Amino acid sequence: MKKQIIRLRSLVMALAAFTFTVACSDDDSGAGVVTETKADSDRWITVAGAKMGTNPGDGNGGTLVYAVSSEEAKNPDKEIDVFNYGYVVPSNRTARLQASQDGNTLFNITYAGDTGGSFFKYAVNGGQNYNQIGLPVTVAQYVGTAPRWIKLFDEDQTGAAVYVSTNDVVDDKGTDDVTDDEYIKTESKIAIVTLDLENQSINEFKEHTIALDDADASKGYYISRIDMPTLNATGDKLYIGAQVRKKNPETLESDSGYEILGSKTIVLDYPSLDNPTIVTSTVGHGNTNGYRSINSFEYNGAVYQANQSDPNGSHILKIGADNQYDDAYEFSLDDALGVTGAYVLAWRPAANGKAVLAYRHDGSTEGAAGRGESFFALVDLNAKTATKITEVPYEVDMEMFQYQHYAVYGDEIYFTAAPVGKDGNIYVIDTETGNVTKGAKLINTTGSHFIGTW
């Protein structure tokens, strides 16, 4: 007979809906509400900062946001002090933020803590003026209090949050002696919930138990983390990025030094969230779940996806209209950037297929936060080129490990560049011309960092 050794983190079964009121200023300096104005032709650009908790760059001290117009964001004489005058976004740790395409609405699912897994929606009105819309909606009973989630690119209609837990399956050979147990595989139980962003309600929820193919699963390989759901061009499939790890079949402990498998993605029917399958790349190896930033995007009928922890450096991979990896598309960032061990931290394309990408690589100097210095590049998905953006003044403490988002306005991409604990600037790149504008000054505070623009 078979038995399952279950290692599940307990899910919180329900949270009551609650209202959350926060002060407009993180330090009680007596300053009034700070507002900004924008012309009808402008777009709100929200800047987010993550305060230090215990260690520089950990982001565990809370998340604050502040909105300026796109023109103000480009103005180097403008100063943005999000840490003193920003709006506090509720979250036990760094908030996971998303925004509407026009920048007028901000979304958040609180991460961890007693109120983790609660979905909030805000109207963006400039400066620190963010008005909560409706009551929070909890997804904790479906995907836990620390879910990974994303806003699908479907005209701001839907969000998707995911969660995974694992079970080790062994054959006990009919005895009570665990030394006789034979490892079979590790199964992954995945949970997916979709949210109606307009009406602030739950659309669909499904759970599935999946495993890698028998050959890999019997060696101890399993899906350990999932993230970054992405809708395909026809809107009938949902792709979920996956991290693959390995256990020692003899001890059931985490293994190390193992062969890295081809990059994998879970494919589900949409909107039903049924019929999970796993597709595998032969071009890229390593993980596709990303970390805090969106890791895959639909462009020109296909989905383009970054991978991480690839022994040959990160690649941009392509999933075609047939919902399989297009292994004829080979885009190595090591080759394109002339580095070794490229590691994509966060990226996003404009509608023309040209993207800004944050990366580090082998030899990146370790800064105060204990991670390697990061850099930005302009990427062309069609030409398969990547060029380092040299207009940014890099230094060792500039690292984008927790970077979440880039604001896109037409062909322009807005991004924050600042070392941990030091001032920096917004930069704006015209992806068509490659011209870079040094924009508003970002005022930092000790140990804190900026996590992007929305």
List pLDDT tens digits, range 20-64.
333 333 343 334 578 898 888 899 999 999 999 999 999 999 999
| pTM of the predicted structure, to 2 decimals | 0.91
- In three-state secondary structure terms, 409 is strand
**Where does 301-435 show beta strands of DSSP type E?**
302-306, 316-319, 343-349, 354-360, 375-380, 385-388, 407-409, 412-417, 424-430
Range with the lowest mean pLDDT among 166-175, 215-224, 256-265, 311-320?
166-175
List pLDDT tens digits, range 198-215.
999 999 999 999 999 999
Q: How far apart are CA 247 and CA 392, in angstroms?
A: 42
The DSSP annotation for 179-203 comes to: GG-EEEEEEEEEEEEEEETTTTEEE
Range with the lowest mean pLDDT among 227-236, 363-372, 373-382?
363-372
User: Are residues 439 and 75 in contact, defined by beta-carbon separation less than 8 angstroms?
Assistant: yes
Task: Judge residue 10's burial from the number of C-beta atoms within 10 Å of its C-beta, 0-12 exposed, 13-18 middle, 19 or more buried.
Answer: exposed
Write down the pLDDT at residue 5: 37
Specify the amino acid at residue 187: E
Where does the pLDDT of residue 300 fall: very low under 50, low under 70, confident under 90, or very high at 90 and above? very high
List pLDDT tens digits, range 407-454.
999 999 999 999 999 999 999 999 999 999 999 999 999 999 999 999
Whether pLDDT at 399 is above 70: yes
Q: Which domains does the chain have, with CATH numbers?
A: 2-453 (2.130.10.10)
Q: Given the DSSP bridges, would you call strands 412-417 and 424-430 parallel, antiparallel or unpaired?
A: antiparallel
Average pLDDT estimate for 163-182: 82
Write down the pLDDT at residue 252: 95
Q: How far apart are CA 358 and CA 416, in angstroms?
A: 11
